[in-house]
């Protein structure tokens, strides 16, 4: 462990960091409220944004210094697949998992799964296939919050596992997170895959039932990252390092259950998520409710900070996310382009630099096997990783 | 101006500020635009766009619906719509940088009603120019890919039938005429039939 005096001074101490109204913004908010940024010599202003497009654009034009970002966005923005092209990178993954796939209660009742116990994600997907075959005249619409998000990819994986073609058999649209529950209640959409707390809101209102958690679909998927532009990183390496150090400490603290309860209180504040504590608790504590009249279940890995090397930006994750994003666009990328983009956008070297300062052991290789392990496993001596299976093989 | 002859440009305005929206709407009508719909954010923008199919959407930069609009451009199967964004941010530098950086549309500082018309006109013109450039690029790319397919099929035929390039080309053309298909389609069939099975490079199999 090193003290801050051994670090280069920040090139810029007063910085703005963007976040969205989601429970996985906890590391940023807790680092600010707990004084962790200040201890690392940073005067951080958190800026709440209403759309990923706005967050990304402000990052690109330098209005924000860094941001809480969907894990595929560094690659997709560098590729120019969204509204704007800019070189973007991450040296720190903020969280694993945390999404849920929720169906409208009316649709859930048509699946014939009963409500006695929680069926497996594969069973819910197959039951949906049955419903589509029984009533082909009633097409279904699902929503996610962004095309290039783990939410989209997880929804598609789940549908495919149930032998449902995500491009032909159902309709997938993008809606702002705040509109999800209202659209579900009004029957405009039949289900959604989003980050928390929006599924918990639907469950507590009694308008939706969770058919699968993000973790059920892809164990320990990379969810949000700390995104910066390459240009900003090159001009502010010391500020960037201090930012990663503060957030890694905040993530490590958030691995403690007591800190999670505290986070639910803090995030509830009007300046942050501006939502009741009761809808933030399920995802943060892992006491997760799937349907209104069922007791919650304890899911240790519902939303992971720090554990299983959660902060490490695996290039194997980046590669999968990039390929999936391009496949969705119908424009597959070649191996060379893929490798070049992944190396540019996902920077494990930056993670290791910060981990060394904090005395945290980090993986020595940049990529790992995906879709192989059903239980926690040892990657290298002293480096334990979580399960990494994907639904449907 | 030929505004009375050409059909009016149909604008959809998305604005949470009713007073400003009313002012802008009035100005738009005054400039000869048809304002098809004025909605606040969070009012089902996606469905309204499908229903109304406006020629241009005028939206607040700070609207949560921006991701919706972008998704239409990214994965939509219907025609993308030009989008003009406005912002309350009194920061000309941000706007200038945003435009330079290529945010697909124009940003109107503070949505001054007097500036609305020229900016919409420019945005639509710029959008059309960009679309035609993109279509052109797409067709060039398709042509190149088709040519590559034909060359590969010829190569395979030459090796397989022990014939020269001219004969291979003649054979392909004949196949195309006999089956009433385009040359690239025949090339694809030849490749699928004759080439050794390549291993699947995809990550997943279901």
CA separation for the pair A30, A247 (Å, rounded): 9
Is residue A108 within 8 Å of A378, Cβ to Cβ?
Answer: no
Q: Is B65 a domain residue?
A: yes
My answer on whether A282 and A177 are in the same domain is no
- The confidence band for B200, taking pLDDT boundaries of 50, 70 and 90, is very low
Among B49, B63, B71, the strongest candidate for a mutation testing the A interface, having the largest count of A CBs within 10 A, is B71
Is the domain of B17 the same as that of B107? Answer: yes
* pLDDT > 90: percent of chain A: 85
Q: What is the CATH number of the domain that holds B163?
A: 1.10.10.10
Residues B143 and B96 occupy one common structural domain: no
What CATH number has the domain bearing residue A306?
3.40.190.10
- CB pair distance less than 8 Å for B64 and A60: no
- Is A70 a member of any domain? yes
Residue A322 in any domain: the answer is no
Domain shared by B14 and B93, yes or no = yes
Which residue, of A217, A246, A268, is where some domain finishes? A217
Domain check: are B107 and B48 in the same one? yes
A325 lies in some domain = no
Contact pairs from chain A to chain B, CB under 8 Å: 94
**Which pLDDT score is estimated for B88?**
63
Each residue's pLDDT tens digit, A96-144 = 999 999 999 999 999 988 765 688 999 999 999 999 999 988 889 999 9
Return the pLDDT at A299: 96
DSSP string of B63-97? -TTHHHHHHHHHH-SSPP--EEEEE----HHHHHH
- Looking at the DSSP assignment, which residues form a beta bridge with residue A16? A45
Q: Does A60 touch chain B (CB under 8 A)?
A: yes
Q: Are residues A307 and A173 in the same domain?
A: no
How does pLDDT run across A237-282, given as a tens digit for each residue?
999 999 999 999 999 999 999 999 999 999 999 999 999 999 999 9
Convert the pLDDT of each residue in A147-206 to its tens digit: 999 999 999 999 999 999 999 999 999 988 888 999 999 999 999 999 999 999 999 999
Q: Is the pLDDT reported for residue A349 higher than 60?
A: yes
Neighboring chain B residues of A62 at a CB cutoff of 8 Å = 97
Q: What is the pLDDT of residues B149-170, one digit of tens each?
A: 888 899 989 988 899 889 998 9
Q: Domain tally for chain A?
A: 2
In a domain, A46, yes or no: yes
Do B92 and B185 fall into the same domain? Answer: no
Q: Are residues A256 and A338 in the same domain?
A: yes
Domain count, chain B: 2
Q: B72 and B142, same structural domain?
A: no
H or E segment to which residue A160 belongs = helix A150-161
Angle among Cα B192, B196, B198 to the nearest 5 degrees reads 85
| Res A130: pLDDT | 96
Read off the pTM: 0.83
Least confident of A1-10, A154-163, B141-150: A1-10
Q: Do B203 and A320 touch (CB under 8 A)?
A: yes
Domain that holds residue B43: 10-111
Q: What is the CATH number of the domain that holds B55?
A: 3.40.50.2300
> Are the Cβ atoms of B74 and A52 closer than 8 angstroms?
no
Same domain, A123 and A272: no
- B143 and B84 in a common domain: no
Q: Is A195 on the interface with B (CB under 8 A)?
A: no
Q: Is residue B104 part of a domain?
A: yes
Query: Does one domain contain both B17 and B70?
Result: yes
| Within-domain flag for A292 | yes
> Containing domain of residue A166, as a range?
99-217
Pairing of strands A141-144, A66-70: unpaired
């Amino acid at each position: 462990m090193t003290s801050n005096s051994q670090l280069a001074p920040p090139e810029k101490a007063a910085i703005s960091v963007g976040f969205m109204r989601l429970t996985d913004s906890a590391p940023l908010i807790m680092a600010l409220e707990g004084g962790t940024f200040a201890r690392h010599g940073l005067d951080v202003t958190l800026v709440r944004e209403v759309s990923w497009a706005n967050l990304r654009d402000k990052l690109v034009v330098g209005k924000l210094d860094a941001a809480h970002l969907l894990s595929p966005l560094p690659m997709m923005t560098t590729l120019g697949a969204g509204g704007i092209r800019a070189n973007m990178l991450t040296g720190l993954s903020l969280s694993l998992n945390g999404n849920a796939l929720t169906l409208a209660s009316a649709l859930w009742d048509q699946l014939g799964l009963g409500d006695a116990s929680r069926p497996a994600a594969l069973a819910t997907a197959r039951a949906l296939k049955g419903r589509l075959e029984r009533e082909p005249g009633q097409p279904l619409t699902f929503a996610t919050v962004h095309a290039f998000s783990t939410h989209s990819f997880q929804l598609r994986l789940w549908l495919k596992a149930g032998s449902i073609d995500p491009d032909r058999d159902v309709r997938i649209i993008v809606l702002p997170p705040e509109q999800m529950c209202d659209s579900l209640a009004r029957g405009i959409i039949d289900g959604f895959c989003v980050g928390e707390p929006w599924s918990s809101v639907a469950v507590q209102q009694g308008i939706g039932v969770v058919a699968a958690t993000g973790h059920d679909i892809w164990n320990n998927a990379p969810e949000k990252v700390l995104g910066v532009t390459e240009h900003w990183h090159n001009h502010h390496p010391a500020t960037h390092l201090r930012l990663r150090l503060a957030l890694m400490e905040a993530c490590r603290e958030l691995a403690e259950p007591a800190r999670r309860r505290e986070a639910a209180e803090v995030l509830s504040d009007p300046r942050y998520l501006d939502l009741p504590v009761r809808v933030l608790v399920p995802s943060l504590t892992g006491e997760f409710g799937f349907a209104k009249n069922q007791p919650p279940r304890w899911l240790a890995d519902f939303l992971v900070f720090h554990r299983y090397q959660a902060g490490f930006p695996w290039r194997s994750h980046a590669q999968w996310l990039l390929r999936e994003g391009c496949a969705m666009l119908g424009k597959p990328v070649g191996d060379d382009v893929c490798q070049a983009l992944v190396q540019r956008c996902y920077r494990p070297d930056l993670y290791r630099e910060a981990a060394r300062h904090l005395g945290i052991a980090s993986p020595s290789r940049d990529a790992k096997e995906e879709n192989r392990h059903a239980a926690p496993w040892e990657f290298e001596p002293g480096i334990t990783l979580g399960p990494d299976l994907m639904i449907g093989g | 101006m030929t505004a009375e002859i050409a059909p009016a440009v149909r604008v959809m305005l998305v604005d949470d500020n009713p007073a400003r929206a009313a002012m802008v709407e009035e100005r738009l009508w005054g400039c000869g635009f048809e304002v098809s719909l004025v909605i606040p954010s969070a009012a089902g923008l996606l469905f309204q766009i499908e229903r109304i199919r406006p020629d241009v959407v005028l939206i607040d930069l700070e609207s949560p619906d921006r991701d919706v609009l972008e998704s239409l451009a990214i994965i939509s199967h219907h025609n993308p719509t030009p989008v003009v964004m406005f912002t309350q941010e009194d920061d000309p530098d941000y706007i200038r940088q945003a435009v330079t950086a290529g945010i697909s549309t124009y940003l109107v500082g503070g949505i001054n009603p007097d500036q609305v018309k020229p900016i919409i006109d420019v945005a639509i013109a710029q959008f059309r120019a960009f679309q035609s450039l993109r279509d052109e690029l797409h067709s060039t790319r398709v042509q190149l890919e088709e040519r590559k397919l034909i060359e590969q099929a010829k190569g395979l035929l030459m090796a397989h039938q022990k014939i020269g390039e001219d004969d291979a080309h003649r054979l392909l053309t004949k196949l195309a005429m006999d089956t009433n298909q385009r040359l690239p389609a025949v090339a694809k069939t030849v490749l699928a039939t004759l080439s050794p099975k390549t291993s699947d490079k995809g990550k997943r199999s279901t």
